[in-house]
Amino acid sequence: MNAKIAVLAGDGVGREIVPEAVKILKAVAQKYHHTFEFVPGDIGGQAIDKVGVPLPQETLALAKQSDAVLLGAVGGPKWEGLEYSLRPERALLGIREALGLYANLRPAKVYANLVDASTLKREVVEGIDVLVVRELTGGIYFGKPKGIEKLPNGEERGVNTEVYTTDEVRRIAKVAFEAARKRRKKVTSVDKANVLESSELWRKVVIDAHKSYPDVELSHIYVDNAAMQLVRNPRQFDVLLCNNMFGDILSDEAAMLTGSIGMLPSASIGAKVGLFEPIHGSAPDIAGKNIANPIATIASAAMMLSYAFQLDKEAEAIEQAIVKTLDLGYRTKDIQSPGARIVGTTEMGDAILRNLN
Ligand code: NAD
Protein backbone atom coordinates (compact mmCIF):
# COMPACT_ATOMS: atom_id res chain seq x y z
CA MET A 1 0.00 0.00 0.00
CA ASN A 2 0.96 3.66 -0.34
CA ALA A 3 0.65 5.94 2.67
CA LYS A 4 1.68 9.43 3.58
CA ILE A 5 2.75 9.79 7.22
CA ALA A 6 3.13 13.18 8.90
CA VAL A 7 6.08 12.99 11.29
CA LEU A 8 5.88 15.51 14.14
CA ALA A 9 8.82 14.80 16.44
CA GLY A 10 8.26 17.88 18.65
CA ASP A 11 10.50 18.56 21.62
CA GLY A 12 12.87 16.90 24.06
CA VAL A 13 13.12 13.14 23.66
CA GLY A 14 10.54 13.36 20.88
CA ARG A 15 13.39 14.27 18.57
CA GLU A 16 15.31 11.13 19.55
CA ILE A 17 12.59 8.49 19.72
CA VAL A 18 10.61 9.41 16.61
CA PRO A 19 13.54 8.76 14.22
CA GLU A 20 13.82 5.26 15.74
CA ALA A 21 10.16 4.55 14.95
CA VAL A 22 10.59 5.92 11.42
CA LYS A 23 13.61 3.66 10.99
CA ILE A 24 11.46 0.63 11.87
CA LEU A 25 8.59 1.75 9.61
CA LYS A 26 11.00 2.14 6.69
CA ALA A 27 12.26 -1.39 7.24
CA VAL A 28 8.68 -2.71 7.39
CA ALA A 29 7.87 -0.90 4.14
CA GLN A 30 10.83 -2.51 2.45
CA LYS A 31 10.21 -6.01 3.80
CA TYR A 32 6.50 -6.04 3.05
CA HIS A 33 6.58 -4.00 -0.17
CA HIS A 34 4.74 -0.88 0.92
CA THR A 35 5.51 2.72 0.08
CA PHE A 36 5.46 5.05 3.06
CA GLU A 37 6.17 8.72 2.48
CA PHE A 38 7.39 10.50 5.62
CA VAL A 39 6.78 14.24 5.76
CA PRO A 40 8.21 16.13 8.75
CA GLY A 41 6.31 18.98 10.39
CA ASP A 42 6.85 21.43 13.25
CA ILE A 43 4.95 21.21 16.52
CA GLY A 44 5.30 22.36 20.12
CA GLY A 45 8.25 24.35 21.43
CA GLN A 46 10.39 23.90 18.35
CA ALA A 47 7.53 25.33 16.25
CA ILE A 48 7.32 28.28 18.66
CA ASP A 49 11.04 28.90 18.23
CA LYS A 50 10.74 28.68 14.46
CA VAL A 51 7.50 30.44 13.63
CA GLY A 52 6.10 31.75 16.92
CA VAL A 53 3.15 29.37 17.40
CA PRO A 54 2.95 25.80 18.75
CA LEU A 55 0.73 24.51 15.95
CA PRO A 56 1.48 26.24 12.63
CA GLN A 57 -1.17 26.18 9.89
CA GLU A 58 1.23 24.23 7.65
CA THR A 59 1.46 21.48 10.25
CA LEU A 60 -2.32 21.27 10.53
CA ALA A 61 -2.66 21.17 6.75
CA LEU A 62 0.01 18.46 6.56
CA ALA A 63 -1.73 16.37 9.23
CA LYS A 64 -5.09 16.66 7.47
CA GLN A 65 -3.62 15.67 4.12
CA SER A 66 -1.80 12.67 5.54
CA ASP A 67 -3.04 9.14 6.10
CA ALA A 68 -1.70 9.11 9.67
CA VAL A 69 0.30 11.24 12.08
CA LEU A 70 3.25 10.03 14.13
CA LEU A 71 3.87 12.35 17.07
CA GLY A 72 6.75 12.45 19.57
CA ALA A 73 6.13 14.80 22.47
CA VAL A 74 5.92 18.52 23.13
CA GLY A 75 6.90 20.87 25.92
CA GLY A 76 9.83 21.68 28.14
CA PRO A 77 11.14 24.19 30.68
CA LYS A 78 12.17 26.63 27.96
CA TRP A 79 8.55 27.42 27.13
CA GLU A 80 7.00 27.12 30.59
CA GLY A 81 6.86 30.89 31.14
CA LEU A 82 4.71 31.50 28.06
CA GLU A 83 1.09 32.50 28.27
CA TYR A 84 -1.15 29.41 28.41
CA SER A 85 -2.55 29.81 24.87
CA LEU A 86 0.98 29.88 23.40
CA ARG A 87 2.39 26.93 25.33
CA PRO A 88 3.63 23.89 23.37
CA GLU A 89 0.98 21.66 24.99
CA ARG A 90 -1.78 23.72 23.32
CA ALA A 91 -0.71 22.11 20.06
CA LEU A 92 -1.91 18.74 21.32
CA LEU A 93 -5.41 19.99 22.03
CA GLY A 94 -5.42 21.86 18.71
CA ILE A 95 -4.41 18.92 16.57
CA ARG A 96 -6.75 16.51 18.36
CA GLU A 97 -9.64 18.88 17.82
CA ALA A 98 -8.75 19.65 14.18
CA LEU A 99 -8.52 15.95 13.30
CA GLY A 100 -11.73 15.16 15.21
CA LEU A 101 -10.00 12.44 17.22
CA TYR A 102 -12.92 10.95 19.12
CA ALA A 103 -11.34 7.70 20.32
CA ASN A 104 -8.18 7.15 22.32
CA LEU A 105 -6.74 3.66 22.47
CA ARG A 106 -4.19 2.84 25.12
CA PRO A 107 -2.88 -0.67 25.47
CA ALA A 108 -1.26 -1.65 28.74
CA LYS A 109 0.76 -4.75 28.22
CA VAL A 110 3.25 -6.34 30.54
CA TYR A 111 6.20 -7.86 28.72
CA ALA A 112 7.29 -11.12 30.34
CA ASN A 113 10.77 -9.84 31.06
CA LEU A 114 9.59 -6.61 32.67
CA VAL A 115 7.10 -8.04 35.15
CA ASP A 116 9.21 -6.88 38.06
CA ALA A 117 9.04 -3.23 36.93
CA SER A 118 5.44 -3.11 38.16
CA THR A 119 4.58 -2.03 41.69
CA LEU A 120 2.15 -4.94 41.88
CA LYS A 121 2.99 -8.56 42.60
CA ARG A 122 4.31 -10.71 39.78
CA GLU A 123 1.34 -13.11 39.98
CA VAL A 124 -1.11 -10.23 39.48
CA VAL A 125 0.60 -8.50 36.54
CA GLU A 126 2.05 -11.42 34.63
CA GLY A 127 0.35 -11.65 31.24
CA ILE A 128 -1.61 -8.37 31.44
CA ASP A 129 -2.76 -7.21 28.02
CA VAL A 130 -5.54 -4.63 28.39
CA LEU A 131 -6.68 -2.08 25.85
CA VAL A 132 -8.50 0.97 27.21
CA VAL A 133 -10.75 2.56 24.57
CA ARG A 134 -11.63 6.04 25.78
CA GLU A 135 -14.19 8.40 24.24
CA LEU A 136 -12.29 11.65 23.73
CA THR A 137 -14.54 14.44 22.53
CA GLY A 138 -17.73 14.15 24.58
CA GLY A 139 -18.89 13.64 28.14
CA ILE A 140 -18.34 15.80 31.18
CA TYR A 141 -15.23 17.62 29.87
CA PHE A 142 -17.27 19.23 27.10
CA GLY A 143 -20.93 19.05 28.22
CA LYS A 144 -22.92 22.24 28.83
CA PRO A 145 -23.91 23.93 31.04
CA LYS A 146 -20.49 24.31 32.59
CA GLY A 147 -18.81 26.99 34.65
CA ILE A 148 -18.62 28.61 38.05
CA GLU A 149 -21.31 31.07 39.05
CA LYS A 150 -21.74 33.42 41.99
CA LEU A 151 -24.76 32.79 44.14
CA PRO A 152 -26.78 35.62 45.76
CA ASN A 153 -25.60 34.48 49.19
CA GLY A 154 -21.92 35.03 48.17
CA GLU A 155 -21.17 31.33 47.73
CA GLU A 156 -20.11 29.94 44.39
CA ARG A 157 -21.50 27.02 42.37
CA GLY A 158 -19.43 24.90 39.97
CA VAL A 159 -21.21 22.93 37.27
CA ASN A 160 -20.22 20.36 34.65
CA THR A 161 -22.56 18.25 32.62
CA GLU A 162 -22.08 14.64 31.66
CA VAL A 163 -23.79 14.31 28.30
CA TYR A 164 -23.71 11.71 25.53
CA THR A 165 -25.80 11.24 22.43
CA THR A 166 -26.61 7.86 20.89
CA ASP A 167 -24.37 8.72 17.92
CA GLU A 168 -21.37 9.44 20.10
CA VAL A 169 -21.78 6.21 22.05
CA ARG A 170 -22.41 4.07 18.97
CA ARG A 171 -19.27 5.47 17.31
CA ILE A 172 -16.95 4.70 20.23
CA ALA A 173 -18.58 1.30 20.88
CA LYS A 174 -17.85 0.38 17.28
CA VAL A 175 -14.16 1.27 17.76
CA ALA A 176 -14.04 -0.98 20.83
CA PHE A 177 -15.72 -3.92 19.09
CA GLU A 178 -13.47 -3.57 16.02
CA ALA A 179 -10.39 -3.40 18.26
CA ALA A 180 -11.56 -6.49 20.17
CA ARG A 181 -11.73 -8.38 16.88
CA LYS A 182 -7.98 -7.85 16.50
CA ARG A 183 -7.46 -9.18 20.03
CA ARG A 184 -9.16 -11.68 22.37
CA LYS A 185 -12.69 -10.62 21.34
CA LYS A 186 -13.92 -9.43 24.74
CA VAL A 187 -15.31 -5.97 25.47
CA THR A 188 -16.11 -4.80 28.99
CA SER A 189 -18.13 -1.59 28.93
CA VAL A 190 -17.54 0.67 31.93
CA ASP A 191 -20.40 2.79 33.24
CA LYS A 192 -22.25 3.95 36.31
CA ALA A 193 -25.69 2.96 35.05
CA ASN A 194 -26.96 2.40 38.59
CA VAL A 195 -26.93 6.15 39.28
CA LEU A 196 -26.31 8.14 36.08
CA GLU A 197 -28.87 8.51 33.30
CA SER A 198 -26.13 9.24 30.75
CA SER A 199 -24.64 5.86 31.71
CA GLU A 200 -28.05 4.22 31.34
CA LEU A 201 -28.17 5.46 27.76
CA TRP A 202 -24.51 4.48 27.26
CA ARG A 203 -25.28 0.89 28.27
CA LYS A 204 -28.41 0.70 26.11
CA VAL A 205 -26.57 1.94 23.00
CA VAL A 206 -23.56 -0.33 23.61
CA ILE A 207 -25.90 -3.35 23.84
CA ASP A 208 -27.55 -2.27 20.62
CA ALA A 209 -24.23 -1.71 18.79
CA HIS A 210 -23.07 -5.14 19.95
CA LYS A 211 -25.71 -6.78 17.71
CA SER A 212 -23.39 -6.24 14.73
CA TYR A 213 -20.53 -8.01 16.54
CA PRO A 214 -21.89 -11.40 17.63
CA ASP A 215 -18.35 -12.84 17.60
CA VAL A 216 -17.29 -10.42 20.36
CA GLU A 217 -18.24 -11.09 23.97
CA LEU A 218 -19.74 -8.08 25.80
CA SER A 219 -20.02 -7.50 29.53
CA HIS A 220 -20.68 -4.43 31.69
CA ILE A 221 -18.99 -3.22 34.84
CA TYR A 222 -19.55 -0.26 37.15
CA VAL A 223 -16.59 2.11 37.14
CA ASP A 224 -15.84 1.73 40.85
CA ASN A 225 -15.65 -2.02 40.46
CA ALA A 226 -13.53 -1.61 37.31
CA ALA A 227 -10.98 0.45 39.26
CA MET A 228 -10.85 -2.28 41.87
CA GLN A 229 -10.67 -5.20 39.44
CA LEU A 230 -7.85 -3.55 37.50
CA VAL A 231 -5.54 -3.96 40.47
CA ARG A 232 -7.11 -7.17 41.81
CA ASN A 233 -7.26 -9.26 38.65
CA PRO A 234 -6.33 -7.24 35.54
CA ARG A 235 -5.93 -10.32 33.35
CA GLN A 236 -9.72 -10.71 33.18
CA PHE A 237 -9.89 -7.69 30.84
CA ASP A 238 -9.28 -7.50 27.11
CA VAL A 239 -10.89 -4.26 25.87
CA LEU A 240 -12.25 -1.75 28.38
CA LEU A 241 -14.74 0.63 26.75
CA CYS A 242 -14.99 3.91 28.66
CA ASN A 243 -16.50 7.35 28.45
CA ASN A 244 -14.15 10.34 28.54
CA MET A 245 -13.75 10.77 32.29
CA PHE A 246 -13.77 7.09 33.30
CA GLY A 247 -11.26 6.39 30.50
CA ASP A 248 -9.03 9.25 31.61
CA ILE A 249 -8.73 7.76 35.06
CA LEU A 250 -8.71 4.05 34.25
CA SER A 251 -6.18 4.37 31.40
CA ASP A 252 -3.65 5.88 33.82
CA GLU A 253 -4.38 3.15 36.33
CA ALA A 254 -3.93 0.48 33.65
CA ALA A 255 -0.72 2.14 32.42
CA MET A 256 0.80 2.04 35.88
CA LEU A 257 0.22 -1.70 36.10
CA THR A 258 3.04 -2.14 33.62
CA GLY A 259 5.45 0.02 35.59
CA SER A 260 7.21 1.82 32.78
CA ILE A 261 6.06 4.95 30.98
CA GLY A 262 8.68 4.52 28.25
CA MET A 263 6.92 1.37 27.01
CA LEU A 264 3.38 2.59 26.47
CA PRO A 265 1.98 3.56 23.07
CA SER A 266 -1.33 5.15 22.15
CA ALA A 267 -3.57 5.69 19.17
CA SER A 268 -6.19 8.36 18.64
CA ILE A 269 -8.75 7.61 15.98
CA GLY A 270 -10.62 10.22 14.00
CA ALA A 271 -13.11 10.20 11.17
CA LYS A 272 -10.26 10.20 8.66
CA VAL A 273 -6.74 10.58 10.05
CA GLY A 274 -5.40 8.84 13.15
CA LEU A 275 -2.67 10.10 15.46
CA PHE A 276 -0.15 7.77 17.08
CA GLU A 277 2.11 8.78 19.96
CA PRO A 278 3.78 7.50 23.12
CA ILE A 279 1.86 8.34 26.29
CA HIS A 280 4.88 9.98 27.91
CA GLY A 281 5.98 13.61 27.54
CA SER A 282 9.18 15.22 26.29
CA ALA A 283 11.19 14.06 29.34
CA PRO A 284 13.44 17.15 29.49
CA ASP A 285 15.43 15.57 32.32
CA ILE A 286 16.90 12.97 29.95
CA ALA A 287 16.59 14.72 26.57
CA GLY A 288 19.65 14.89 24.30
CA LYS A 289 21.47 12.08 26.11
CA ASN A 290 20.52 9.15 23.89
CA ILE A 291 19.05 7.30 26.87
CA ALA A 292 15.29 7.63 26.28
CA ASN A 293 13.38 4.44 25.66
CA PRO A 294 12.06 4.43 22.07
CA ILE A 295 9.79 1.40 22.57
CA ALA A 296 6.59 3.38 23.32
CA THR A 297 7.01 5.23 20.04
CA ILE A 298 7.94 2.13 18.06
CA ALA A 299 4.88 0.38 19.51
CA SER A 300 2.82 3.45 18.51
CA ALA A 301 4.08 2.95 14.96
CA ALA A 302 2.87 -0.65 15.18
CA MET A 303 -0.56 0.62 16.26
CA MET A 304 -0.53 2.94 13.25
CA LEU A 305 0.01 0.00 10.93
CA SER A 306 -2.80 -1.95 12.53
CA TYR A 307 -5.41 0.72 13.19
CA ALA A 308 -4.79 3.23 10.38
CA PHE A 309 -3.70 0.90 7.60
CA GLN A 310 -5.10 -2.51 8.64
CA LEU A 311 -1.61 -3.97 8.25
CA ASP A 312 -2.01 -6.38 11.15
CA LYS A 313 0.72 -8.80 10.07
CA GLU A 314 3.26 -5.97 9.85
CA ALA A 315 2.16 -4.57 13.22
CA GLU A 316 2.59 -7.99 14.76
CA ALA A 317 6.08 -8.24 13.27
CA ILE A 318 7.08 -5.05 15.12
CA GLU A 319 5.53 -6.35 18.36
CA GLN A 320 7.45 -9.60 17.99
CA ALA A 321 10.68 -7.71 17.30
CA ILE A 322 10.20 -5.75 20.55
CA VAL A 323 9.55 -8.95 22.52
CA LYS A 324 12.59 -10.67 21.00
CA THR A 325 14.83 -7.69 21.74
CA LEU A 326 13.72 -7.67 25.38
CA ASP A 327 14.14 -11.44 25.54
CA LEU A 328 17.72 -10.99 24.37
CA GLY A 329 18.32 -8.77 27.39
CA TYR A 330 18.47 -5.34 25.74
CA ARG A 331 17.28 -2.59 28.10
CA THR A 332 17.27 1.17 28.13
CA LYS A 333 18.06 2.73 31.51
CA ASP A 334 14.43 3.19 32.57
CA ILE A 335 13.76 -0.56 32.38
CA GLN A 336 17.15 -1.84 33.47
CA SER A 337 17.38 -4.99 35.48
CA PRO A 338 20.29 -6.94 36.95
CA GLY A 339 22.38 -8.62 34.28
CA ALA A 340 20.67 -6.80 31.43
CA ARG A 341 22.48 -5.19 28.54
CA ILE A 342 21.98 -1.42 28.93
CA VAL A 343 21.77 0.37 25.60
CA GLY A 344 20.96 3.87 24.37
CA THR A 345 18.03 5.05 22.29
CA THR A 346 19.56 4.43 18.88
CA GLU A 347 21.06 1.08 19.92
CA MET A 348 17.64 -0.09 21.13
CA GLY A 349 16.16 1.00 17.78
CA ASP A 350 18.92 -0.86 15.93
CA ALA A 351 18.38 -4.02 17.98
CA ILE A 352 14.64 -3.99 17.28
CA LEU A 353 15.41 -3.45 13.60
CA ARG A 354 17.71 -6.48 13.56
CA ASN A 355 15.00 -8.60 15.16
CA LEU A 356 12.32 -7.63 12.67
CA ASN A 357 11.16 -10.54 10.55
P1 NAD B 1 7.29 13.00 31.05
O2 NAD B 1 6.42 11.90 30.58
O3 NAD B 1 8.00 13.78 30.00
O4 NAD B 1 8.40 12.41 32.05
C5 NAD B 1 8.06 11.77 33.27
C6 NAD B 1 9.23 10.88 33.71
O7 NAD B 1 9.30 9.73 32.85
C8 NAD B 1 10.58 11.57 33.61
O9 NAD B 1 11.40 11.15 34.67
C10 NAD B 1 11.16 11.07 32.31
O11 NAD B 1 12.57 11.04 32.27
C12 NAD B 1 10.57 9.67 32.23
N13 NAD B 1 10.36 9.28 30.82
C14 NAD B 1 9.42 9.77 29.98
N15 NAD B 1 9.55 9.21 28.77
C16 NAD B 1 10.59 8.37 28.86
C17 NAD B 1 11.23 7.52 27.91
N18 NAD B 1 10.82 7.41 26.63
N19 NAD B 1 12.28 6.79 28.32
C20 NAD B 1 12.72 6.87 29.58
N21 NAD B 1 12.16 7.65 30.52
C22 NAD B 1 11.10 8.40 30.15
O23 NAD B 1 6.37 13.94 31.94
P24 NAD B 1 6.72 15.36 32.63
O25 NAD B 1 8.12 15.36 33.12
O26 NAD B 1 5.62 15.61 33.56
O27 NAD B 1 6.59 16.42 31.46
C28 NAD B 1 7.69 16.94 30.72
C29 NAD B 1 7.17 17.82 29.61
O30 NAD B 1 6.40 17.03 28.68
C31 NAD B 1 6.23 18.92 30.09
O32 NAD B 1 6.49 20.09 29.35
C33 NAD B 1 4.85 18.40 29.79
O34 NAD B 1 3.91 19.39 29.62
C35 NAD B 1 5.10 17.63 28.53
N36 NAD B 1 4.16 16.53 28.24
C37 NAD B 1 3.88 16.32 26.95
C38 NAD B 1 3.07 15.26 26.60
C39 NAD B 1 2.84 14.98 25.14
O40 NAD B 1 3.52 15.57 24.32
N41 NAD B 1 1.91 14.13 24.79
C42 NAD B 1 2.54 14.41 27.58
C43 NAD B 1 2.88 14.65 28.91
C44 NAD B 1 3.70 15.72 29.24
Per-residue pLDDT of the chain (357 residues; tens, 9 = 90+): 999 999 999 999 999 999 999 999 999 999 999 999 999 999 999 999 999 999 999 999 999 999 999 999 999 999 999 998 899 999 998 999 899 999 999 999 999 888 888 889 999 999 999 999 999 999 999 999 999 999 999 999 999 999 999 999 999 999 999 999 999 999 999 999 999 999 999 999 999 999 999 999 999 999 999 999 999 999 999 999 999 999 999 998 998 888 788 999 999 999 899 999 999 999 999 999 999 999 999 999 999 999 999 999 999 999 999 999 999 999 999 998 888 999 999 999 999 999 999
Selecting among 42, 191, 238, 248, the annotated active-site residue is 248
CA atoms within a 13 Å half-sphere pointing along the CA-CB vector of 44: 23
Is 80 among the annotated ligand-binding positions?
yes
Q: Which atom of ligand 1 is nearest to the CA of 283?
A: 3
Omega before 145 cis (within 30°)? yes
User: What confidence score (pLDDT) does residue 102 get?
Assistant: 97
Determine which residue's CA is closest to atom 11 belonging to ligand 1.
Answer: 283
Q: Which atom of ligand 1 is nearest to the CA of 73?
A: 40
334 in ligand 1 pocket by Cβ < 6 Å? yes
Angle of CA points 179, 240, 327, to nearest 5°:
70
Ligand 1 centre and the CA of 282: distance in Å? 5
Is 289 among the annotated ligand-binding positions?
yes
Indicate if 272 belongs to the active site.
no
Q: Calculate the alpha carbon distances from 67 to 2, 99, 273, 291 in Å.
A: 9, 11, 6, 30
54 in ligand 1 pocket by Cβ < 6 Å? no
User: At residue 295, what are phi and psi to the nearest 5 degrees?
Assistant: -65, -40
Of the candidates 66, 1, 74, 73, the residue with the CA atom closest to the CA atom of residue 38: 66
Distance CA 76, CA 268 (A): 23
Indicate if 252 belongs to the active site.
yes
Ligand 1 centre and the CA of 74: distance in Å? 9
Ligand 1 centre and the CA of 79: distance in Å? 15
- Of 82, 261, 291, 331, the one to substitute when testing ligand 1's pocket (max ligand atoms within 8 A of C-beta) is 261
Distance CA 86, CA 124 (A): 43
Q: Return the domain boundaries, the chain.
A: 1-102+270-357, 111-259
293 in ligand 1 pocket by Cβ < 6 Å? yes
Q: Calculate the alpha carbon distances from 12 to 74, 81, 213, 291, 322 in Å.
A: 7, 17, 42, 12, 23
CATH value of 111-259 in 3.40.50.12780, 3.40.50.300, 3.40.718.10, 1.20.970.10: 3.40.718.10
- Letter string b/e over residues 158-171, b meaning 16 or more CB atoms within 10 A of that residue's CB: eeeebbbeeebbeb
Of the candidates 67, 52, 64, 74, the residue with the CA atom closest to the CA atom of residue 8: 74
Of the candidates 105, 132, 109, 127, the residue with the CA atom closest to the CA atom of residue 240: 132
User: What confidence score (pLDDT) does residue 195 get?
Assistant: 97
Is 328 among the annotated ligand-binding positions?
no
CATH value of 1-102+270-357 in 3.30.300.180, 2.70.40.10, 3.40.30.10, 3.40.718.10: 3.40.718.10
Q: Calculate the alpha carbon distances from 74 to 62, 104, 287, 317, 356 in Å.
A: 18, 18, 12, 29, 29
95 in ligand 1 pocket by Cβ < 6 Å? no
What residues contact 57, with CB distance under 8 A and at least 6 apart? none
CB atoms within 10 A of CB 19: 18
Distance CA 279, CA 291 (A): 17
Selecting among 141, 174, 186, 333, the annotated active-site residue is 141
CB-count exposure of residue 105 (10 Å: 0-12, 13-18, 19+)? buried
Domains 1-102+270-357 and 111-259 share a fold: yes
Indicate if 224 belongs to the active site.
yes
Q: Which phi-psi region, left, alpha or beta, contains residue 290 (left: φ > 0; alpha: ψ -120 to 50)?
A: left
CB-count exposure of residue 225 (10 Å: 0-12, 13-18, 19+)? exposed
Which pTM was predicted?
A: 0.93
Q: Calculate the alpha carbon distances from 338 to 76, 108, 114, 183, 342 in Å.
A: 32, 24, 12, 33, 10
Please, are residues 244 and 141 in contact by the beta-carbon 8 Å criterion? yes
User: What confidence score (pLDDT) does residue 116 get?
Assistant: 84
Pairing of strands 129-135, 186-191: unpaired
Q: Which atom of ligand 1 is nearest to the CA of 13?
A: 18
Q: Which atom of ligand 1 is nearest to the CA of 285?
A: 11
Angle of CA points 173, 178, 180, to nearest 5°:
95
Indicate if 67 belongs to the active site.
no
Indicate if 141 belongs to the active site.
yes
CB-count exposure of residue 285 (10 Å: 0-12, 13-18, 19+)? exposed
Determine which residue's CA is closest to atom 1 belonging to ligand 1.
Answer: 281
Is 183 among the annotated ligand-binding positions?
no
- Residue 276 three-state SS: strand
Distance CA 219, CA 217 (A): 7
Please, are residues 190 and 246 in contact by the beta-carbon 8 Å criterion? yes
76 in ligand 1 pocket by Cβ < 6 Å? yes
CB atoms within 10 A of CB 150: 9
User: What confidence score (pLDDT) does residue 260 get?
Assistant: 80
